[in-house]
Amino acid sequence: MRRFVNLVVDNAGGGGATAYKLYRVAASALFSSPPRRQAANVLDPDDVEDAAGGLPPPAITFHPSSLSVGPGNVDFLRLSGDDSLLALDVDGRGLLYSAASAAVRYMPDPCKPKMEPISFTTAGDSCLYVIERVPFSGNPGCFEALTYGLLPDDDDSLSSRMGWYWRSLPPPPFAKVGYDGDIRRHRHRREYDITASAVVNETELWVTAHGAGTFSFDTQAGEWRARGEWRMPFMGRGEYVEEHGGWFGLSSTPVKGLHLCSCRLCSYDVPVVRRWLDGLDRLPAAAPPKRSFLMEAYAVHLGSGRFCIARFMEEEEEEKDNISLHPFFRVAGEKSKNDRFLLLTGVDVVGSDGAAVVVHKSIRYKFQNGDFVRGYSRLF
């Protein structure tokens, strides 16, 4: 089981600058209380406790390059385990951080900067595969692999130097045409954006593209293959759980809301989806006049069938008009500062076929003023 859950939040500093704080929350804290089985298959939104002392001190703070001010301009990708991550800014500059050794090293620049990258790691492969959420066929760097091994050398094909390097991979068949070389011009175009991803059979990278279906990339053959017009049910990444022989992740439907789901991915068959913990978007009740809103959600596999379900929330107080005692003057309504917090829930999938879910503990971590800019959190 992984020891930590990694959390990156944006900190809005002065002068428009943005910093990125990495917190490492002990996973054991979510599984220390006696568990209780969810008989009704619905998570109790009010069964929450506040974290004593809040979040731990940040392990490290990242700052983007001078050309990349503003939130969301740095992405964080996990390499392996729970102690190494790659930070990539929108200009293509990268740093590798190892929490185990508290060390940082420069990384080579990718062939092209990445806009909203999605990453994959496979078993027994010293590579990090990175694809843009909205790939373009005319962009040779929309899909790349960061590889550790013998460095390619134009002058000496038998170079014995070892290190990290990037190599371009073929874009997917559904990649949109019309890329003109400027990623900033296309950041809001969503015709064929990737909505779900998973690693299958340890060597295949599966993605579902909105409006195109599901495709897989064979990392050994270096080829894409269409799997069908159906969609994987996940909202983001699906994690394989060996103990239950299936892929688990978060999903969302209009009727059941946000929930934990699972399916088996094989061949070209449309997967049968199972659901647990319906209504994860039913949030803890806020004291009037405040209201709670779900901003983002993640499901992180910790190993041995255990998950950390993370929900980023905001409590917003409704505007109130203050009327002065003078009959001819009215003071404009004021809105209090919104409170933002993170809710982590420890979940255990049990049974020979993953037939039940056991909920352990839900802990609320409040953010400090300025932390957590809407829409740019990371949890892995």
DSSP 326-357: STT--EEEE-PPPEEEEEEEEEEEESTT--EE
pLDDT at 35: 67
pLDDT greater at residue 264 or residue 321: 264
How high is the pLDDT of residue 323? 44
Q: What pLDDT is attached to residue 156?
A: 56
Confidence of residue 270 (pLDDT cuts 50, 70, 90): confident
**Separation between Cα atoms, residue 328 and residue 359, nearest integer Å:** 57
pLDDT of 191 reads 62
pLDDT in tens, 340-358: 889 999 999 887 766 688 8
Which is higher by pLDDT, 12 or 140? 140
pLDDT at 306: 93
**Per-residue model confidence (pLDDT) at position 308:** 95
Q: How confident is the model at residue 15 (pLDDT cuts 50, 70, 90)?
A: low
d(CA 294, CA 153): 49
Model confidence at 78, pLDDT cuts 50, 70, 90, reads confident
Closest CA to 99 of 6, 163, 2, 165: 6
pLDDT given for residue 183 in this prediction: 44
pLDDT of 296 > 50? The answer is yes
- Residue 258: pLDDT above 80? yes
pLDDT at 222 over 90: yes
Place of tokens 């006049």: 289
Question: Average pLDDT of 178-204?
Answer: 69
Instruction: Please state the rounded mean pLDDT for residues 274-297.
Output: 82
Which residue did the predictor score with more confidence, 185 or 116? 116
Mean pLDDT, range 257-273, rounded to an integer: 88
The band of 149, judged by pLDDT with boundaries at 50, 70 and 90, is confident
Instruction: Give the up-direction half-sphere exposure of residue 5: CA atoms within 13 A in the CB hemisphere.
Output: 28
Instruction: Report pLDDT for 327.
Output: 41
Helix (H, G, I), strand (E, B) or coil at 236: strand
Query: What does R_g of the chain's alpha carbons equal in angstroms?
Result: 22
Q: Give the domain extent around 197.
A: 4-379
For residue 60, give the CATH number of its domain: 2.120.10
The structure tokens 């731990």 sit at 56
Counting the structural domains of the chain, the total is 1
Range with lowest mean pLDDT among 104-113, 114-123, 265-274, 317-326: 317-326
Q: What's the confidence (pLDDT) of residue 72?
A: 63
More confident position, 63 or 159: 63
Instruction: Report percent pLDDT > 70 for the chain.
Output: 79
**CA 102, CA 305: separation in Å to the nearest integer?**
29
For the chain, percent helix, then strand, then coil, each to nearest 5?
A: 5, 50, 50
* Mean pLDDT of the chain, nearest integer: 81
Report d(CA 130, CA 139) in Å as an integer.
14
Q: Read off the pLDDT of residues 80-99 as tens digits, 9 standing for 90 and up.
A: 766 789 998 888 889 999 98
Q: Is the pLDDT of residue 322 over 80?
A: no
18-44 pLDDT tens trace: 788 899 999 999 987 676 655 446 677
Give the pLDDT confidence score for residue 170 in this predicted structure: 93
